[in-house]
Amino acid sequence: MNVCSLALTTELALIATRGRITDRGSYLVVETPDDPGYFHGNLLVFAAPPQPGELAIWLSTFDDELGSHPAIRHVTLYWDGITGDAGAADELRDAGFQIDTHEVLVTDGVDASPAALPLRLLAPDDVLATAALAWQLGDRHDEVYRLFLQRRAAWHRDLVARDLARFYGAFDGATLVASLGIVRVLDVGRYQDVQTLPAYRKRGLARALLAAAARDALGGVERVVIVAEPGSDAARLYTRAGFRRIELTTSACRYPPDISRPVRLR
């Protein structure tokens, strides 16, 4: 299956550094074996949004491909596209899905004022500290989520060790208070997990980290790309930093009944 969306193309390339993608011709099966409960790492990808009457077929396909794993209690559906078309959105909502639309932004350079706190490139083992930062920012504080963050940080550490990614942090003394990563996939740099503790926001730290990562990455890629929720504080920050929107992408997830809509790390 051919994929047109830059966001989906880079998302799949990221997952391929950790999991596996199987092309069935009319759809893709995406699996993250080391974390089957990862909502956005175990999913199906289709060529276009669901049309009226198709959702039942998609659900049956998901069940055939991924439903037998006891840890997969969610159903996540992606589809290719750049306009944000949700297709049969009412059918998705009636079936318990939450629909997510994201804007995809790119730039060939980020301007920023000097950072208010020291910035540092993180060594591989230092990347593990980003899990603790994400834990403080998360809206879930159960053991399952803690382990998810630890596995994600370990994956990022391995990407840094393999020279596929760089992660950066802002420090108040010895304390990591903001961080992000950038992964080289295909001919672009894809940002990951931009996060700042609330007490340190509005100090220019995120923008300074974006600029530092872009400066380093653009020596080896054509442009850098980031994904954000439309109208969010993050999206406004990225626009002020010089990013421009090129796509809208939409996906849907039916979360397990005991999980409310979680923060999605991108």
- CA distance linking residue 154 with residue 130, whole number of Å: 10
Q: How far is CA 174 from CA 114, 118, 131, 136, 248, in A?
A: 19, 10, 16, 17, 39
Helices and strands (H and E) in the chain: how many = 7, 11
% of the chain with per-residue pLDDT over 90? 89
Question: What pLDDT, on the 0 to 100 scale, is given for residue 266?
Answer: 57
- CA distance linking residue 103 with residue 110, whole number of Å: 18
Query: What is the pLDDT averaged over residues 227-255?
Result: 96
Give the 3-state secondary structure of residue 209.
Answer: helix
Q: Work out the widest C-alpha separation in the chain, in whole angstroms.
A: 57
More confident residue, 261 or 201: 201
More confident residue, 138 or 87: 87
Tell me: pLDDT of 136 over 90: yes
- Contact predicate 34/151, CB 8 Å: yes
**Burial state string for 128-137 with b = 16 or more CB within 10 A and e = fewer than 16:** ebbbebbeee
Tell me: pLDDT of 226 over 70: yes
Tell me: pLDDT of 61 over 80: yes
Do 6-102+249-254 and 109-221 show the same overall fold? yes
Tell me: pLDDT of 261 over 60: no
4-46 pLDDT per residue, tens: 999 999 999 999 999 999 999 999 999 999 999 999 999 999 9
- Contact predicate 80/47, CB 8 Å: yes
Domain 6-102+249-254 top-level CATH class: alpha beta
Query: What is the pLDDT averaged over residues 116-141?
Result: 96
% of the chain with per-residue pLDDT over 70? 97
- CA distance linking residue 117 with residue 124, whole number of Å: 21
Give domain 109-221's CATH number out of 3.40.630.30, 3.20.20.10, 3.60.15.10, 3.40.920.10: 3.40.630.30
Question: What pLDDT, on the 0 to 100 scale, is given for residue 172?
Answer: 98
In the chain, where are the structural domains located?
6-102+249-254, 109-221
Question: What pLDDT, on the 0 to 100 scale, is given for residue 176?
Answer: 98
Query: What is the pLDDT averaged over residues 63-81?
Result: 97
pLDDT band for 263, please (50, 70, 90 cuts). low
Tell me: pLDDT of 262 over 70: no
pLDDT band for 260, please (50, 70, 90 cuts). low
Question: What pLDDT, on the 0 to 100 scale, is given for residue 139?
Answer: 87
Tell me: pLDDT of 250 over 60: yes
